[in-house]
Chains A and B, each alone.
Chain A
Amino acid sequence: MDMRDLVTGGAACAVPGSSSSSSNPLAALANTLIGSSSKIQENKEIPTSITPSSERQIYTETNDHLGALDQPFVDPNAPQHSDFLRGFHGSGGGQTELDAAWNDIHPPPPPQLDHIYDTHPHPQQHQPILDGPPQRMLSSLLHSFVDSSRGGVPFHATPLPVLGLSEGDKQCIRNRSSIMARHIFADKSEDFINAQVNALLCSLDIDGDARAKGPLPGRFRELEDYWNESQGTLKPGFHAADGWVAEFNQQRMVHGANGWASEFEQQHGANGWASEFEQSQLTSVDQMRGSNISSLAAMEQTRMLANTLAQNDDPKFQNSKFLQFVSKMSRGELIIDDNQVKQTALPAAGDWASEYQHQYNRSPAWADEFLSHGPDQWVNEFTTERGQHGPVDDQWVNEFSKLHVHDWADEFGRQVGEGALGENSTDNWANAYDEFLNEQVAARQRSDTSRGVYVFSDMNPYVGHPNPLKEGQELFRKGLLSEAVLALEAEVLKNPDNAEGWRLLGIAHAENDDDQQAIAAMLRAQEADSTNLEVLLALGVSHTNELEQAAALKYLYGWLRHHPQYGTLAPPELSDSLYYADVARLFNEAAQMSPDDADVHIVLGVLYNLTREYDKAIESFQTALKLKPHDYSLWNKLGATQANSVHSADAIFAYQQALDLKPNYVRAWANMGISYANQGMYEDSIRYYVRALAMNPKADNAWQYLRISLSCASRDDMLEACDSRNLDVLQKEFPL
């Protein structure tokens, strides 16, 4: 404490009034003696803007003015205050202790320092501190974080260039975002909140931290303890990697190479390695907390939350800055900036620590993937791999021990890069779910208004055509779906009881991604021919798409009952009270009866979709595809199922197969877009949507998807073109 502090009592009790008019004569003396530079120290916070006109109104600039408080601090023993103070019980002790404390601190201790000012001694630097380019990014990142509450769409981790945040800043962000997230995302599950906060922290390269104020104590007590424990034992990043290597070497020396793996398993149990890795992934801690809840439950919760949000039809929410913001900060803008800055920010190859750090940003994705697979599977994979190398265990171990930390990190990085660890699958679920919801909402609206009512086009040039059915079939075969629709409409106008005409019309609409019309047409087809298997299957699929289990079961069961081969399997009395388990059992029987009938496997795949057993569904479709490799709609079904499960990347392959077989398959183009969007590749998704829409501008769903993707890709400039359905502009902007 320097002399000024001793005399003036420090800046904390800076005397009201200018220094010369100080009511504290000692302070005046000090100023005279030491010079008035003290003012600069005292007033660390210099207000910037006071309008000159109002200045006079607010404080009177007179030398004899005493502020509202004449005395800096009044003696606590002064009679007028003692009454009051006696009324209070000191929390830690009695009055005397307070007095003692008072004496001790009179003059009081130096003022608490403000951290921003500490690092930037010149007040004028204070303002720009958060306005430079990186800070603008920070600002918009935080903005999109906050805004992400409204859409229910998870906040995406976006790597930012190094912002130069101090430890204090980081802790602020960590603590505050955790606490605020619990208010803002109140509707959502703890998992969701943690994922949001982690995405934010990851973007900013901030570690999760035990000091952070997490959720309410008690709720996750056990996990917190576990976490704290694990944190004590392992440090993140470099040290952890070092630790492993060291540990590995140790193990190797003691037990010899062959024994290592089994030894390790003995020591740590089957999940040991996985959990150890988990411990070192500091950033993923919160997600790991959620790992107790099965991923299915988490998904269910996400769905419920998304549902709640989707029900908010307040236009303000729909128009809120949310979507615009996710866009503004996210990909487009930031990635460009990011790339530029990243070039310079990235260290020379070989700087292992930063490289790791860089990978580290993506660890939540890893963690998510990890969650979705479950540790067991992962470990299994690990052990199978080991098994394959069985005989060369020694070699493998040697190889491993030869690996530099650097190599290890590279390997890790490569795997991440290859997508071996996948994209953030939680995001995918939620995104897919959002889309699914949109679809559902739209479907519900449709069903309310015009379910089953087929709407004919105006001005149909094929009316009066001598053989519109043949023309329609021909057009359909050529893939000119919109034209085919017109021709087929002409056919069913001419022959309203032509089941085949209605069926083809339904299929054309379905492939054109227009479910409303597809269902309406199929219903008419069924009216005309109640036992047509293809119609029954198509209706079953349509209702499955809308998650209407009862209706779907009805038609799928109908399919079985009317099938010449399996009809005997289906007792007619069952049709009154259909249960999923019964129907699934019957189809499994049918599949056993004739394992080479692709159709049965297709229906089974559809059935498994009903109960969201996607792995089984994928298996069924894949079996069917072996029998019918050229069925493009089957590839599409497989893709859709994969997209619904966690294998969005696989879905793209399946859709591509479908498109190779039938390039004008609008539905597959749109689905492809959805898959890309689910993986966060919005620019790509836009191109596919635009392509789909170019083929069928009436696909309302695709327009909705396109709008979402445009927003997410920061292409607000194209929203107008989207809203006005201006395909020319969109196609020019987004060629495929």
Chain B
Amino acid sequence: MPVFKTPFNGYSVKFSPFYESRLAVATAQNFGILGNGRLHILDLPPTPSSPFVELASFDTADGVYDVAWSESHDSLLVAAVADGSLKIYDLSLPPTSNPIRSLHEHSREVQSVDYNPVRRDSFISSSWDDSIKLWTLDRPTSIRSFQEHAYCVYAAVWNPRHADVFASASGDCTLRVWDVREPGSTMVVAAHEFEILSCDWNKYDDCVIATASVDKSVRVWDIRTYRTPLAVLNGHGYAVRKVKFSPHNRSFLVSCSYDMTVCAWDYMVEDARIGQYGHHTEFAVGVDMSVLVEGLIASTGWDELVYVWQYGTDPRAP
């Protein structure tokens, strides 16, 4: 599979929910500590030997930490920018018209953005200002701000089944589950002893959620019995940056870490780690699995490379 070199350090990669070969990559200069950002839209080449096709790229004045494809329009993306803004891009418009929106309410870096997969008309962002905000495309301001976490919120992810439910992972070492119809969070799980950097819902069991932490572990939880995790997945050597459940397999998940590897896990078997990929040469910080092609994984990292590969194959294989 081909490799794409980004000029800046990779931060996040997401497959398009509409086109099996399309993906968006969020990048930031100088590891996102200072400098510009760039959002790349890439198409996988028809044959593995040819290079990626870059459809578009958009520059921002600050690093792009995350990106989410719209679930309702194939050409829309939301970028989470380190200056606290969310920017909406429309690929069907000429570059001069983009971004079509800039939503600036977060007072600190926005670390994650997630598009509601059920309602398909709203998205949530989580920020280092400790808050989560709910947005729709047609409103210039956020609909609601969720303010309970005591430290940076590194991820907020919609439940794949329930349109109003989402979970958030924070540096305050808690995982919170929210229902937007409720005034406060409905559940607080002290999921790790250390900062939690990522979380993701199981796509087959709407009560199962995975968390990834600075403590190097990934934990899988059933929120009905949240006192003990269903599984503790050890194997990363440093903080785990992102975790993602497979859209095609109930027990399969992938994670990436500051140990520079991407790991594949089956949390239901004893030797949970079923794959480890060491293709990145710097911190691996972004990983995603395609909804449209089973087993297709994409990853990016601070080595400024984007890899796409089929589970079971070597990401670096030509």
Contact = CB atoms under 8 A, between A and B. Distances in A.
Interface of A: 12-14, 16-18, 39, 43-51, 54, 57-61, 65, 67-69, 71, 73-74, 76, 81, 84-85, 87-91, 98, 101-102, 105-106, 108, 111-112, 114-117, 126-127, 129-130, 138-139, 142-143, 145-146, 149, 165, 169, 172-173, 175-177, 179-180, 182-184, 186-187, 213, 216-218, 312, 314, 316, 320-321
B196 to A, nearest CB: 11
Contacts of B121: 84
B36 A130 contact: yes
Given A47-B56, A65-B92, A187-B238, A98 B151 contact: no
B152 interface: yes
A139 B139 contact: no
B190 interface: no
Interface stretch (B177-185, B219-227, B289-297): B177-185
B34 A87 contact: no
Interface in B103-146: 104, 108-109, 119, 121-122, 128, 134, 136-141, 143-146
A13 B102 CA distance: 8
Contacts of A57: 55
Given A16-B97, A54-B53, A69 B137 contact: yes
A65 B108 CA distance: 36
Given A57-B55, A88-B134, A320-B281, A46 B96 contact: yes
B67 to A, nearest CB: 15
A127 B29 CA distance: 11
Given A67-B93, A142-B30, A105 B141 contact: yes
B59 A48 contact: yes
Secondary structure call for the B interface? loop
Contacts of A111: 102, 104
B8 to A, nearest CB: 10
A616 B141 CA distance: 68
A571 B120 CA distance: 85
Given A54-B54, A312-B237, A69 B30 contact: no
Given A115-B61, A139-B30, A87 B181 contact: yes
B99 interface: yes
Interface stretch (B83-91, B244-252, B305-313): B83-91
B188 interface: no
A146 B302 contact: yes
B92 A68 contact: yes
B62 interface: yes
Given A45-B59, A91-B145, A102-B141, 12 more contacts: A12-B102, A46-B95, A48-B57, A58-B55, A91-B183, A106-B140, A112-B104, A114-B60, A130-B30, A139-B30, A179-B152, A182-B195
B181 A180 contact: no
Interface residues of B, number: 90
A68 B140 contact: no
A116 B96 contact: no
B4 interface: no
A182 B100 contact: no
A69 B90 contact: yes
A51 B54 CA distance: 7
B197 interface: yes
A13 B101 contact: yes
A126 B59 contact: yes
A72 to B, nearest CB: 8
Interface in B237-269: 237-239, 241, 258, 260
B61 A45 contact: yes
Interface in B148-192: 150-152, 164, 171-173, 180-183
B201 interface: no
B57 A50 contact: yes
Contacts of A182: 171, 195, 214
Contacts of A320: 260, 281-282
For the complex of A and B, the 7 pairs showing the least CB-CB separation, nearest first, are A112-B104, A114-B61, A68-B73, A74-B138, A47-B95, A116-B61, A108-B140
Contacts of B234: none
A50 B40 CA distance: 10
Interface in B25-76: 29-36, 41, 43, 53-62, 70, 73-76
B34 A142 contact: yes
B129 to A, nearest CB: 9
A65 B75 CA distance: 13
B282 A69 contact: no
B228 interface: no
